[in-house]
Homo-oligomer: A and B are copies of this chain.
């Protein structure tokens, strides 16, 4: 009974995600769904990424938070269009973005001429992995402060992701984080998952991430041109 209800919710979500997908395609936008636990550094990564892309790609951002506009406020000085979604109105708020929330946000986000849309999901390693929103790629962030066991405890998030940014590597000297064990745990769940050792603070791994974005956007253009 509970299973069939959940299945219906996810099926309904997928239909709306497909509509979003068509709208993004119509504007030629490459869309990244950026997911992580709270405080892994998604917004810091976006700040640095938007600066690095300036003049190379035109970006827009959809910010998802239970409450408030803190993350959107941080990005406003960068001059990139930002729409904030708050999932809060009911009780404690929804713990993830779904396709309908993105659909509603799109009415406020001009997509003409936008190359890449970053969707910063609510901080949570469980439910965001279950709800597609019409993205091209799911990118997850894990902070090394969270521990090397996370792939085994939150497997779906690691399984659905196309790229992992292993953030805050500048803290590795002060933690017991076991990097080889983490790589083994991640490979156990998703053997094909590329892992970028990353620091939004020092810039480690940043070039590889920006190269990945530029390549994905170019490939997407190629696919659209071929249609």
A122 contacts the other chain (CB 8 A): yes
Per-residue interface assignment for chain A, residues 82 to 122, with 1 indicating a CB less than 8 Å from any chain B CB and 0 otherwise = 00000000111111000000000000000000000000001
Chain B binder among A51-59, A123-131, A204-212, A219-227: A123-131
Number of chain copies forming the complex: 2
B145:A90 contact, CB within 8 angstroms: no
B129:A92 contact, CB within 8 angstroms: yes
Residue from the set A6, A130, A146 with the largest chain B CB neighbour count within 10 Å: A146
Q: Separation in Å of the A174 CB from the closest CB of chain B?
A: 5
A66:B153 contact, CB within 8 angstroms: yes
Q: Separation in Å of the A131 CB from the closest CB of chain B?
A: 9
Known contacts being A37-B37, A122-B126, A152-B68, is A91 close to B145, with CB within 8 Å? no
Residue from the set A37, A125, A149, A153 with the largest chain B CB neighbour count within 10 Å: A153
Q: Separation in Å of the A5 CB from the closest CB of chain B?
A: 10
For A124, the chain B residues whose CB sits under 8 A away are 95, 124-126
A95:B127 contact, CB within 8 angstroms: yes
A67 contacts the other chain (CB 8 A): yes
Complex A-B: 19 CB contacts under 8 Å: A38-B150, A38-B153, A38-B154, A39-B146, A39-B147, A65-B153, A67-B155, A70-B149, A91-B156, A92-B127, A92-B129, A93-B156, A95-B126, A95-B127, A122-B126, A123-B125, A145-B171, A170-B174, A171-B174
